[in-house]
Amino acid sequence: MDENSIKYERQRQEMVRRQIEARGVTDPKVLAAMHKVPRHLFVSDALRDQAYGDFPLPIGEQQTISQPYIVAEMTQALQPGKDDRILEIGTGSGYQAAILAEIVFRVYTIEKIYPLYTQSRKLFDKLRYHNIVTKYSDGTSGWENESPFDGIIVTAGSPIIPKPLVSQLAVGGRMVIPVGDLYSQELIKLYKDEHGIRKTNLGGCRFVKLVGEYGWRA
């Protein structure tokens, strides 16, 4: 370990304690993943020292890596299990996918901006996340061939819950998605069982927009 990795390790520990545990995230798998994944490698060199701050950061292409707490909250809400196959819409920096990859069997993640798709793929390879499968396309249509999924996480704000995603969710599956207008959304958790769909509202949030056939039109 060089000097920097010790510094970042310490910042990560503080982040988990002050931003995540203090706000009520309790799933030990989520806390361990947040403690392990080197978030500073998912932002540009110039932003490394801010990577563990309590806020989102720009990742280029007018997109952002979410605030650490939001990542932890959404991950916990998904109730990820070690045998799960999870679909993520909106790879972005790749950070959320890496957090999930620490916990579950396999993560499928879709990104529609090409440079973000290639950058994140390179980083997954470098960090040896062999259980992350990436795809360059409009994620609002989901990933039919690989469905059904035990969990689906949408990391961009949508005006509606995209129908294809609901149908690609397994019975017993969970979906977490920010739904609302362009300026603010509610984080919705959806649970599918043999009787149908149950929704709960986890509270307000603000994400960049989900652009696609079943999201916002470009």
Q: What is the C-alpha to C-alpha distance for residues 168 and 151, in angstroms, rounded to an integer?
A: 9
CB neighbour class for 87 (10 Å; exposed up to 12, middle 13-18, buried from 19) = buried
Among 92, 151, 173, 178, binds ligand SAH (CB under 6 A): 92
Site for ligand SAH in 197-216 (CB under 6 A): 208, 210-212, 215
Among 43, 78, 85, 90, binds ligand SAH (CB under 6 A): 90
Residue 101 binds ligand SAH (CB under 6 A): no
- Which part of the chain contacts ligand SAH (CB under 6 A), choosing from 33-41, 72-80, 133-141, 178-186? 133-141
Site for ligand SAH in 112-131 (CB under 6 A): 112-113, 116
- DSSP 8-state class, residue 38: -
Is 66 annotated in the active site? Answer: yes
Residue 75 binds ligand SAH (CB under 6 A): no
Q: Give me the residues paired with residue 186 across strands.
A: 179, 204
Q: Which residue is catalytic, options 44, 66, 141, 167?
A: 66
Site for ligand SAH in 152-171 (CB under 6 A): 155-156
Residue 63 binds ligand SAH (CB under 6 A): yes
Tokens standing for residue 95: 């950070």
Among 65, 70, 86, 165, binds ligand SAH (CB under 6 A): 65
Closest CA to 50 of 35, 65, 63, 60: 65
Among 68, 80, 139, 151, binds ligand SAH (CB under 6 A): 139
Type and span of the H or E element at 73: helix 68-77
How many residues belong to the site for ligand SAH (CB under 6 A)? 25
Q: What is the C-alpha to C-alpha distance for residues 35 and 25, in angstroms, rounded to an integer?
A: 13
- Which part of the chain contacts ligand SAH (CB under 6 A), choosing from 46-54, 111-119, 123-131, 180-188? 111-119
Q: Give me the residues paired with residue 201 across strands.
A: 188
Cβ atoms of 27 and 76 closer than 8 Å: yes
Residue nearest to ligand SAH (CB): 92
Closest CA to 80 of 10, 134, 32: 32
Cβ atoms of 212 and 138 closer than 8 Å: yes
Active site amino acids? 66
Binding site for ligand SAH (CB under 6 A): 63-66, 89-90, 92-93, 95-96, 110-113, 116, 138-140, 155-156, 208, 210-212, 215
